[in-house]
A and B are shown apart, each in its own frame.
Chain A
Amino acid sequence: MKNVTLSVDGKKITVPECATVFSAAEKAGISIPTLCRHEDLEPKGACGMCIVKIEGQPGFKRSCVTRVEEGMDVFTSTAAIRDIRRGILELILAAHPADCLQCIKHGKCELQTLAERFEIRDLRYDRYTRGLSVDRSSLGIVRDMNKCIGCGRCVQVCNEVQTVASIFFHGRGSNTIVSPACGTTMGDSVCVNCGQCVVYCPVGALYEREAVEEVWNAIDDPDKVVVAQIAPAVRAAIGEEFGMEPGELGIGRLYSALKALGVDVVFDTNFSADLTIVEEATEFLGRLKKSDPFPLITSCSPGWVKFGETFYPDLLENVSSCKSPQQMLGALIKTHYVESRGLDRDNVVSLSIMPCTAKKFEATRPEMHSSDARDVDYVLTTREIARMIRQAGIDFRNLPDGVPDPLLSCYSGAATIFGASGGVMEAALRTAYEFATGKTLEKVDFVDMRGMAGVKEAEIDVGGTPIKVAVTNGLGNARKMLDRIAEEKRQGRSSYHFVEIMACAGGCVGGGGQPIPNTLARRAARIEGLYREDRDLPFRKSHENPEVKALYAEFLGSPGGERAHKLLHTEYIPRERYQFSG
């Protein structure tokens, strides 16, 4: 690709010819303000904040959608431009609720940041509010269109990246609203709760449905035993909430923090990730023997599961019957743990810390009551647990590494990489190989499964049987894969034996509950952190986990056995896209 040289505010800069003026300025160390552009998304030029003056061209140009040209002379912050930017901000603020102090995005809001940066001190316009009711119908996501500035990132990510198409623009002009079809609510819509809209929202218009207050109440209740679990991807991101680098592991500190908050028992979802692998590898090898329908598709990602139930009901028999690690551990907490400690199940509160907004939905599913109560009572996102830690005044960065409680917390390297796209597949292959061949797998790194690519494929030799596997992340990539699987199924064949699907780009590290910014670059760094931990752990294979072995010996019996089936497996239901409850 050719390079071009241009001048930005008098600074000469050389960039590839496909670069935009916005990114050229960024490279020159100039941060052009924007409210709609996002580094992960195609720019649409909605907000108008990024206008620049290009010498010799009439008017102003949106730098986010203007390509660089050789010899261009760009000015990014003239008096006229600052005046217009302030004008746009004033117009937005006149229509924006002035409740920053109570807003979930306070201090992290892109609009607030720009209002401060451009010194908007008073508003000449008459203020107005839209008076729309806040949509709290969804179990994962709250939608407050009074705060929406119409940047369209959520619409883009929901339609173009995830292809769920739950939300879209409706209405016109200042009545434009982002909403599910036909005025339905989020809860009744096709939304899969992946929360990608939430992590791209620049303001407080879309956010996780919080459970912080309920969890405080449970902790404060002396009769309750609060038992927590922490998902793999949380450990690689929690530190970002406290100024640490993405990928810097915070699991030891998080064990300590939970204890400091008053959580009684701390387990680790990584334990049940290992358990999932033992069950799923057993299921996979069972399918190989019985030649049940292929491919087997993973079921850890509840966003994908609802997506599958909604758009691909004919493929549900291909989805692994294994519950997700969250729900496996929830069921064990409410049965095995309760029994082994002689506790009253109704006094045990099962709490999970997840990178995910869809986990909030998953925990409420009627199938997830194997203990005859909710197996997981509360789900907190990474962001919510960070808020609790801040509220308690805990200096997270300087916490000593704690240890989790025994019984359900030991884990292998195979478990920790569950948080990365391809991790479940890699973990499953490590175990399936040894289960199938009875031999020791020497080379445990399946590097073809790693990385941020949307679709990854490989052929693995498992004891003489070539196993074709594929990994996809992001529901748009999943949709392409699923269309192919469905088409092949109609033709009575399958290119793959085993397919991993994660709803979010990069896997769980990029989940809807992760720290914001949750950019693709940060997700990649978090993934690095997980593979580092995998490399350094004493066990690298799930079936080597001593606590997993003990669990089967003492409680579950054999993998895929009767008790395991009752507690660790589930079923799926075809769903209507919309429930018109009105």
Chain B
Amino acid sequence: MNDIQFVARFAALGKPLDIDAFALSSGFSGLRKALAMAPAEVVAEVKRSGLRGRGGAGFPTGLKWESIVGGDERYLVCNADEGEPGTFKDRFVLEHAPFLVLEGMAIAAYAIGARTGYIYVRGEYPQIVASLSSAIASAVKAGYLGEHILGSDFAFGVEVRKGGGSYVVGDETALLNSLMGNRGYPFLKPPFPTEKGLWGKPTIVNNVETLAYVPYIFAHGADAFASIGSPDSPGLKLFSVSGHVAHPGVYEFPMGSTVRDLEAAAGGAMGNLKAVQIGGTAGPVFDAAALDYSLDFASMRKAGGALGSGALVFMNTTVNMAQVLDVTMRFFAEESCGQCFPCRYGTRQLAFMANKIASGQGKVEYLDLMRDTARVMVGSSLCPFGQSIALPLESLLNGFGDEVVSFVKQQEFLKEAAV
């Protein structure tokens, strides 16, 4: 079992909304230390820690903060629009250690010069909106948010906003559009949100988990953070483990731990392990050889996938891969925002074909046509959503194509036999 923990330690207190319990366990000590430093030093410290964004893309957090430019007003946005299937770690943090996120936000706001922060919570988490609001109220009352934070001149307020239930809004540009009351369409970069974000002002968008690890860097030092995990991806990571394992849940492990470590932590696979989907629905589906993969940004990239949000979905031999294909393609079709043509039309056709295959009306030719469609989408989709469909699709067709083909043929045979 893993002995280095941070978020999980606060969660284990069992009193998520008790601000005194949080403070007594050395909560807010990171904020106190950060406020004693100059904002530029805070940014430098985060850069030195090597912390990378935990939302999926893994962009170095310090670098992002450093890149904010200009503006008479700046904003900090916490991305809590956790929509990736099989991912529930942000929910875990917000439910069990909300003050950690607020502390991280206060440090980030101080570093980038923001006076207002927003937490954009996915629409399907209504209870979190309520609990967060009460956490914010206690933090303001205790002087960790609001005017003169911890007796300093630094002022920072946080507001909670509820999303409308779109997956694409997890993308920071689409999220900003939604936050401004517009349709949740991604917009093209540049200009980056760090130049022109919310209401045209420089804005930093960070994931919940990213912000939750910021206090660690100040409470224990950038060196301590950097010493955990792998050189490419330092620190701890929250993994969402689900599917055919004995104890699905959120597990906090150092970056670079293996899939096997997580499988063991979750009580082992149920039945015979067949496949693992890593990084969410937009990630590849690997066969059981993936147990030896290291879970960090570089290693997963090398394995032809992505760490993504750190979701691990285990599948045993009872799973029909034609159905996995169907579920995955349907997800993309339902969540495509519809703005760009290749994604709007492509996801629909892919979902059609996958559904026909899974329901026994497939054609072997569909497999090639699906690959062609994915190639068009990779080459011409406007945002990473449409481009990312190729990862799960190609991994399913490359790794499990034989199974899908034989399922198609078997269904054809059964139909003919019935005549």
List chain A positions with a Cβ less than 8 A from chain B: 35-36, 44-49, 51, 59-60, 62, 65, 80-81, 83-84, 87-88, 91-92, 94-95, 124-126, 128, 149-150, 152, 168-169, 171-176
Contact = CB atoms under 8 A, between A and B. Distances in A.
B375 A172 contact: no
B72 to A, nearest CB: 24
Given A84-B376, A125-B349, A91 B338 contact: no
A241 to B, nearest CB: 30
Interface stretch (B153-161, B257-265, B340-348, B407-415): B340-348
B188 interface: yes
B34 interface: no
A435 B392 CA distance: 78
B369 A88 contact: no
A88 B379 CA distance: 10
B369 A46 contact: no
Contact of A174 (B345, B353, B365, B376): B345
Contact of A95 (B334, B339, B348): B348
B338 A48 contact: no
B309 interface: no
Contacts of A128: 348, 352
A149 B342 CA distance: 11
Given A45-B382, A176-B344, A126 B337 contact: no
B61 interface: no
A80 B344 CA distance: 21
Interface string B330-369: 0001111111111011111100110000000000010001
Contact of B349 (A47, A81, A91, A171): A91
Chain A CB within 10 Å — which of B188, B333, B341, B352 has the most? B341
Nearest to B365: A124
Nearest to B353: A126
B18 interface: no
Q: Which 7 A-B pairs have the closest CB atoms?
A: A176-B338, A87-B376, A48-B380, A91-B345, A174-B348, A173-B336, A84-B379
17 contacts: A35-B341, A36-B341, A46-B341, A46-B382, A49-B380, A59-B378, A84-B376, A87-B375, A88-B376, A88-B380, A92-B345, A94-B349, A168-B183, A171-B338, A173-B337, A175-B338, A176-B344
A60 B373 contact: no
Contact of A45 (B188, B337, B369): B188
Nearest to A124: B369
B166 interface: yes
B373 A91 contact: yes
Contacts of A94: 345, 349
Contacts of B365: 124
Interface string B183-208: 10000100000000000000000000
A60 B352 contact: no
Contacts of B375: 83-84, 87
A149 B341 contact: yes
Chain A CB within 10 Å — which of B334, B338, B353 has the most? B338
Given A87-B375, A92-B345, A174-B333, A169 B338 contact: yes
Contacts of A47: 340-341
B382 A48 contact: yes
Given A95-B348, A174-B348, A150 B341 contact: yes
Contacts of B20: none
A320 to B, nearest CB: 37
Contacts of A92: 341, 345
A400 B183 CA distance: 54
Contact of B337 (A48, A87, A88, A172): A172
B379 A173 contact: no
B335 A172 contact: yes
A177 B372 CA distance: 26
B346 A173 contact: no
B294 interface: no
B381 interface: yes
A94 to B, nearest CB: 7
Given A60-B379, A87-B376, A172 B346 contact: no
Contact of B340 (A48, A81, A95, A168): A48
A125 B376 contact: no
A172 B334 contact: yes
Nearest to B165: A172
A60 B352 CA distance: 27
Contacts of B369: 124-125
Contacts of B379: 51, 59-60, 80-81, 84
Contacts of B335: 172-173
A376 to B, nearest CB: 39
Contacts of B188: 45, 62, 65
A65 B380 CA distance: 13
A92 B346 CA distance: 9
Contacts of A46: 339-341, 382
A87 B372 contact: yes
Given A87-B375, A172-B166, A172-B336, A60 B344 contact: no
B345 to A, nearest CB: 4
Contacts of A172: 166, 334-338
A47 B338 CA distance: 11
Nearest to B190: A67
Contacts of B345: 88, 91-92, 94-95, 174
B57 to A, nearest CB: 15
Nearest to A128: B352
A65 B369 CA distance: 29
A337 B188 CA distance: 60
Given A87-B375, A91-B376, 17 more contacts: A46-B382, A47-B341, A83-B376, A84-B375, A84-B376, A87-B376, A88-B341, A88-B342, A91-B341, A91-B345, A91-B346, A95-B345, A126-B352, A150-B338, A172-B337, A175-B338, A176-B339
Nearest to A87: B376
B373 A87 contact: yes
A150 B344 contact: yes
A169 to B, nearest CB: 6
Nearest to A149: B341
Interface in B362-398: 365, 369, 372-373, 375-376, 378-382
Contacts of A83: 375-376
A49 B352 CA distance: 23
A344 to B, nearest CB: 56
Nearest to A46: B340
Contacts of B340: 45-48
B189 to A, nearest CB: 10
B331 to A, nearest CB: 11
Contacts of A65: 188
A125 B347 CA distance: 12
B106 to A, nearest CB: 35
Contacts of B373: 87, 91
Nearest to A86: B376
Contact of A173 (B183, B333, B352): B333
Contacts of B342: 48, 84, 87-88, 91
A371 B172 CA distance: 61
A44 B378 CA distance: 18
Contacts of A45: 188, 340, 382
A169 B338 CA distance: 9
Nearest to B349: A125
B349 A173 contact: no
A175 B345 CA distance: 10
Contacts of B349: 91, 94, 125-126
